[in-house]
Amino acid sequence: MELFKCLLGVVLVCGVSAQQYWMQSPLPQKHLLLPTFQKPQQQSNVPPPAAPFHKCVLEEAEKIQCGTPGITVDQCQDINCCFDGHLCYYGKAVTVQCTRDGQFVVVVAREATRPPLDVNSVSLLEPNEAFCGPVDGTSAFAIFQFPVTACGTTLKNDEGYVVYENHMVSSYEVGIGPKGSITRDSHFELLFQCLYSGTTVEALVMEVNPVPPPLSVAAAGPLRVELRLGNGQCISKGYVAAYSSFYRSSDYPISKVLREPVYVEVRLVGRSDPNIVLNLEHCWATSTPNPQSVPHCPYHDDRYHTTVIPLDGSSGLKYPTHYKRFISRMFTFVNSDVFIHCATAVCYPSSENSCEQQCHRQSEYPLNFSCWVML
């Protein structure tokens, strides 16, 4: 989707002589009086959720007892909790547990998403009973405990298991202003299961699906695009050194020898959205500042083809898609002044438009890089 187009130019003088996770937090020394847990076992075709390296790092006042008093370290780890030598407590993680008497226990942490989640907004998809809400919690985490047969839980049989499955979601606040709507809240969805058989109980966190951020709003506004010339010394293939420094505004007009490389860069200025892409629709040269004046390129029979410089993450640029670079060989009109012009477009990628451009030398293509040969 094109967001903005502009036209810009610089002047040359020709010298003819030469790149989530699971968490949870605090209630001051509380614990849930829960029935005995069966050791959960991970289903072979579903990998366990990855825990962050600091999952169990909590202040003493933040630790909340997990399981029954007197639990051993092995029993504590079997129900996905942390042990500090004397206390089993919930770590900074989204924790799902299943009890032998048919209860879900789900602990959701504020830091389960980035930016942190508003745990007060977390709920089951069908909170149709009073016990479907949190049984305890603070601004840092929420604890749910409810029967596996309630709160919208679905039931199915799977390879000898009775599977109870439910969903949990968070809402987010949207600020509505006169010129658009925004949100700064995280949002996630959680699919979790309890699997029961004749001898075992298994707790599975199946999916955590962070909702992708909303698309950027396209609207009219100022957009700065700058065309400048590199003045670095390029002595090896790759052209990186040529773009290590640039001419200043006070340096123009610049004298160049015929056939000398001209290192051109077009860039977006003052933008930090990594998703937008700068495209060059057309670049050409004229002998006056007027971009519509004649003579100007293209001259399709020219033997000195323009070189387009690919830019990616290895270029060292913070936002490579905000830049376009190419190299042309110096030429002259009958008048020795040469003005470079480029028509640009800013594109936002979508499922219908990847914003990628193909370079063609045939004149029938609308994006004709061969016209750059005559700069």
Predicted local confidence at residue 335, as pLDDT: 62
Report which residue type is found at 188: F
Distance of alpha carbon 326 from alpha carbon 335, whole angstroms:
24
Predicted local confidence at residue 180, as pLDDT: 67
Predicted local confidence at residue 154, as pLDDT: 92
CATH 2.60.40.3210 residue ranges of the chain are 60-210
Question: CA distances (Å), 311 to each of 243, 319, 325, in order?
Answer: 12, 10, 8
Classify domain 222-374 at the CATH superfamily level: Zona pellucida, ZP-C domain (2.60.40.4100)
Residues of the chain below pLDDT 70:
1-53, 179-180, 198-221, 234-239, 295-303, 332-336, 358-375
Residue in 128, 111, 217 with CA at minimum distance from that of residue 170 = 111
Predicted local confidence at residue 64, as pLDDT: 82
The first and second tokens of residue 101, run together, are 């008497």
**pLDDT, tens only, 64-101:** 888 888 899 999 988 888 999 889 988 887 889 888 88
Q: Looking at 211-312, which runs of residues are DSSP E strands?
A: 224-230, 254-257, 261-269, 277-286, 307-309
The first and second tokens of residue 74, run together, are 């092995």
- Please check whether residue 249 is in contact with residue 210, taking contact to mean a CB–CB distance below 8 angstroms: no
Fold of 60-210: Immunoglobulin-like (2.60.40)
CATH 2.60.40.4100 residue ranges of the chain are 222-374
SS3 assignment, position 343? strand
Predicted local confidence at residue 14, as pLDDT: 36
Q: Whole-structure pTM over 0.75, yes or no? A: no
Q: Looking at 299-356, which runs of residues are DSSP E strands?
A: 307-309, 323-329, 337-347
Predicted local confidence at residue 152, as pLDDT: 92
Helix (H) or strand (E) holding 228: strand 224-230
Residue in 347, 345, 344 with CA at minimum distance from that of residue 355 = 347
Predicted local confidence at residue 112, as pLDDT: 77
